[in-house]
A = this chain, B = another copy of it.
Amino acid sequence: MTSQERKNVKINPDIQNERRKCTFLIEDFAEFWNGGKEKLAEKRWREDYFLNDPQMKSEVPMEYLSHKEKYEEAIRKSTISFRKIRELRSQGKDGIDDYMALLSGNLGSGLTPDGNPFGLHYVMFLPTLMGQATPEQQAEWMGRAWACNIIGTYAQTELGHGTFIRGLETTATYDPKTQEFILNSPTLTSYKWWPGGLAHTANYAVVVAQLYTKGQNYGIFPFIVQLRDEETHMPMPGIKVGEIGAKLGMNTVNNGFLGFENVRIPRKNMLMKNGKVLEDGTFIKAPSSVLTYGTMMFVRVVIVRDMANYLSKAVTIAVRYSAVRRQSPINPEEREPQIIDHVTQQLKLFPQIAKSVVFRMTADHLWNLYNQVTTELDKGDLERLPELHGMACCLKAITTSDAAAAVEICRLACGGHGYMSCSSFPITYGLTTAACTYEGENTVLLLQTARYLMKSWASAKIGEPLAPTVAYLGRNYKSTVQGIRPKWEGSIPGIISAFQTCAAGKVKIAFDHVEKRKSEGISHENATNLTSIELAAAADAHGRSFLIQAGYESLQEVLKQVPPALGKVLQDLITLYAVDAALRALGDLLRFVSISEEDIQKLQTTLETLLTNIRPNAVGIVDGFDIPDGILQSALGAYDGNVYERIFAEAMKSPLNKEPVNKSFQLYMKPFLKSNL
């Protein structure tokens, strides 16, 4: 809804009242959240430009279509939205923000709510060309790819291998006679499986395959393969391609499979920046291949940011609904209250608001770290790469699993109505939980962080200097080894310090248990597997201390820039995040920190006070996320709060409601009811 439209609509009085009693200016929050007045204006212009184009309307809501129709509708809408980007470009008005908005986060999820079949063209195909093609190869491919004259995808994951990419089975064998690579899928499990857009959309792909030349395997490399004829879209000879079938969510991403039967591609189709094969078949390794790390890191930062966006959407819906829904009297003689007045409801929702803010701040923090490290990388300094990797891994794992759980908390807080597709929760959960698995399965990622922590602990042990994000391990080393439990201090810095103490304690336990097992004659690898529960727990604790810290440090910066009334609200939210985290981690705190029953009661009181503080501002805050109805697509969460009218209107769109009697009555039911057999 545009601001003009907002003025003309009847607003639910309960939600109107919430907006009136807000203690801060909602527009101030919107500016803070969207990066300033100018960015906010740009964002609104962009949303209006894409969402309010009448071509973007679907005749029937997607949830009523068949799987095939959903895909066709998504292609229709995607081509329209990318034409609109071309239009912007032709006017010199397109920017990186436009692409990002379309491909990730909330605007993208508004345009193609169940996933974009062209997404991987931009998110993986183009970046891989940019990162791994030689200048000559870029000259050949980038122009057409950038103009969308060809559509590519990135085919890495196979039916049998996902996270462990060294296990990939697809082969690319060099034939010096014809100067071609021959691609093959030697087993069923070697079929590419999952790449977005692969099934019926892309006509090109970067295919990751085991390189063989002169009878030797050199590991995995990327190759450009044409999948379909550009005129007819028919699969090329030897290419077996199709879709992998229906899924929990993201059904319009068009995830596909791909098999090769002696598919020949020219030698120059191997992306050669990180290794090349000469005409005669000689393999030459590139001096350094750290640059491929960059893309992976970038994608993980984007994921953390996406989690903040999806969660902000879910909590907007749940908070607005909770301000309109009235149920279950608190006082029998009074009117049923808005359900947001039930304290248990506040405990469900407000920490999710806080989480949205902290995840966003953490994404920005990680982004800064990423930029620092890549600047150092360009100077040949690789020192902070493992640290960045360790942090990106555990933050991706924690934010995706927390966000998915939080979306479900928001949904369940809306009772049965949250279960309806028109709430938009089911599709939002599908998007969010998918991130727990893609780009590195969460447990595997935690264990990668743990590996870095084990190395850091070993360094701490011998007094070596530690990287900034693990410096606390050094500071805590001595007291942790001595089993000293530092005194609890309930401020946010105190909570951060306590979480770091817990993380150090858990790192120590995991480290000691690996060492103990090794001392019993168990190999390092087996000892690590046997200790993996505690290793994952250590990585989790490490990431959680960073999240609170990132929120707190960002807050200090933000407080300098925003009006005091908004500052107070943000302070409440960050404090709530920390206090809620502390109460959920009581087991750890009681083990590693000297916290008394009185301290715990005080924490609980602080929690309850914060809920009370946030209560009058809750609707204002989610309004400040500034997510338009066209993105929310939720009968429960619309700006006007006309929940019941909207639910009813959505139900009437069901094709089943177009006829009073469904044909199954005559076909099946009547013969059944009228007989006794």
> Which residues of chain A have a CB within 8 Å of any CB of chain B?
61, 63-69, 71-72, 75-76, 79, 82-83, 86-87, 90, 147-151, 157, 159-164, 167, 188-189, 191, 194, 199-201, 203, 228, 230, 232-235, 242-249, 257, 326-332, 336, 341-345, 347-348, 408, 411-412, 415-416, 418-422, 425-426, 429, 433-434, 436-438, 441-444, 447, 483, 523, 525-526, 528-534, 536, 585-591, 597, 600, 604, 607-608, 644-645, 647-648, 650-657, 660-665, 667-674, 676-677
Could you name 14 residue pairs across A and B whose Cβ atoms are closer than 8 Å?
A64-B67, A71-B656, A151-B673, A160-B326, A233-B665, A245-B421, A245-B422, A246-B421, A246-B654, A331-B525, A344-B447, A412-B433, A418-B437, A586-B590
How distant is the Cα of A247 from the Cα of B160 in the complex, in angstroms? 32
Contact A344 B233 (CB under 8 A): no
Contact B425 A248 (CB under 8 A): yes
| Given A529-B343, A661-B233, A68 and B76 contact (CB-CB distance below 8 Å) | no
Q: Which residues of B contact A644 (CB under 8 A)?
A: 159-160, 188-189
How distant is the Cα of A422 from the Cα of B246 in the complex, in angstroms? 8
Contact A243 B654 (CB under 8 A): yes
| Given A421-B246, A656-B200, A416 and B437 contact (CB-CB distance below 8 Å) | yes
| Given A164-B327, A327-B163, A604-B534, A676 and B248 contact (CB-CB distance below 8 Å) | no
Contact A67 B656 (CB under 8 A): yes
Contact B164 A336 (CB under 8 A): yes
Min Cβ gap A69→B in Å is 7
Min Cβ gap A220→B in Å is 15
Q: Which residues of B contact A68 (CB under 8 A)?
A: 64, 654-656, 662
Min Cβ gap A287→B in Å is 25
How distant is the Cα of A82 from the Cα of B669 in the complex, in angstroms? 11
Contact B242 A652 (CB under 8 A): yes
How distant is the Cα of A669 from the Cα of B79 in the complex, in angstroms? 7
Contact B591 A242 (CB under 8 A): no
Q: Which residues of B contact A72 (CB under 8 A)?
A: 662-664, 667
How distant is the Cα of A234 from the Cα of B664 in the complex, in angstroms? 13
Q: Which residues of B contact A90 (CB under 8 A)?
A: 677
Q: How many copies does the complex hold?
A: 2
Contact A257 B651 (CB under 8 A): yes
Min Cβ gap A641→B in Å is 14
How distant is the Cα of A433 from the Cα of B416 in the complex, in angstroms? 11
How distant is the Cα of A589 from the Cα of B587 in the complex, in angstroms? 8
How distant is the Cα of A473 from the Cα of B672 in the complex, in angstroms? 55
Q: Which residues of B contact A65 (CB under 8 A)?
A: 66-67
Q: Which residues of B contact A656 (CB under 8 A)?
A: 67-68, 71, 199-200, 242-243
Indicate which residue in B148, B447, B587 contacts A587 across the interface (CB closer than 8 Å).
B587
Min Cβ gap A107→B in Å is 20
Closest to A187 in B: B644
Contact A421 B257 (CB under 8 A): no
Contact B200 A661 (CB under 8 A): yes
How distant is the Cα of A523 from the Cα of B412 in the complex, in angstroms? 29
How distant is the Cα of A249 from the Cα of B590 in the complex, in angstroms? 41
How distant is the Cα of A662 from the Cα of B668 in the complex, in angstroms? 33
Q: Which residues of B contact A667 (CB under 8 A)?
A: 72, 75-76
For the complex with contacts A242-B652, A245-B651, A343-B532, 11 further pairs of A-B residues with Cβ separation under 8 Å are A67-B656, A72-B667, A83-B672, A149-B676, A233-B670, A242-B656, A245-B421, A246-B421, A247-B420, A415-B441, A533-B607
Min Cβ gap A528→B in Å is 8
Closest to A199 in B: B656
| Given A68-B656, A328-B444, A412-B437, A650 and B347 contact (CB-CB distance below 8 Å) | no
How distant is the Cα of A181 from the Cα of B68 in the complex, in angstroms? 48
How distant is the Cα of A233 from the Cα of B65 in the complex, in angstroms? 26
Contact B200 A347 (CB under 8 A): no
Contact B344 A443 (CB under 8 A): yes
Contact B66 A327 (CB under 8 A): no
Contact A188 B648 (CB under 8 A): yes
Contact A419 B648 (CB under 8 A): no
Contact A412 B426 (CB under 8 A): no
| Given A68-B655, A69-B66, A673-B149, A162 and B343 contact (CB-CB distance below 8 Å) | no
Min Cβ gap A646→B in Å is 11
Min Cβ gap A327→B in Å is 5
How distant is the Cα of A425 from the Cα of B199 in the complex, in angstroms? 23
Contact B591 A529 (CB under 8 A): no
Min Cβ gap A223→B in Å is 22
User: 7 closest Cβ contacts across the A-B interface?
Assistant: A586-B587, A587-B587, A63-B246, A590-B590, A75-B664, A248-B426, A246-B421
How distant is the Cα of A71 from the Cα of B655 in the complex, in angstroms? 11
How distant is the Cα of A665 from the Cα of B161 in the complex, in angstroms? 30
How distant is the Cα of A676 from the Cα of B90 in the complex, in angstroms? 9
Indicate which residue in B148, B232, B587 contacts A590 across the interface (CB closer than 8 Å).
B587
Q: Which residues of B contact A343 (CB under 8 A)?
A: 529-533
Min Cβ gap A25→B in Å is 30
| Given A419-B437, A420-B246, A533-B608, A200 and B344 contact (CB-CB distance below 8 Å) | no
Indicate which residue in B63, B342, B585, B657 contacts A242 across the interface (CB closer than 8 Å).
B657
How distant is the Cα of A157 from the Cα of B417 in the complex, in angstroms? 11
Contact B532 A668 (CB under 8 A): no
**Which of A191, A242, A342, A586 is the most central at the interface, judged by chain B CB atoms within 10 Å of its CB?**
A242
Contact B331 A79 (CB under 8 A): no
**Which of A69, A525, A665 is the most central at the interface, judged by chain B CB atoms within 10 Å of its CB?**
A665
Contact A67 B654 (CB under 8 A): yes
Closest to A248 in B: B426
Min Cβ gap A659→B in Å is 9
Contact A167 B437 (CB under 8 A): no
Indicate which residue in B188, B344, B651, B663 contacts A533 across the interface (CB closer than 8 Å).
B344
Contact A523 B327 (CB under 8 A): no
Q: Which residues of B contact A248 (CB under 8 A)?
A: 411, 419-421, 425-426, 429
Min Cβ gap A165→B in Å is 10
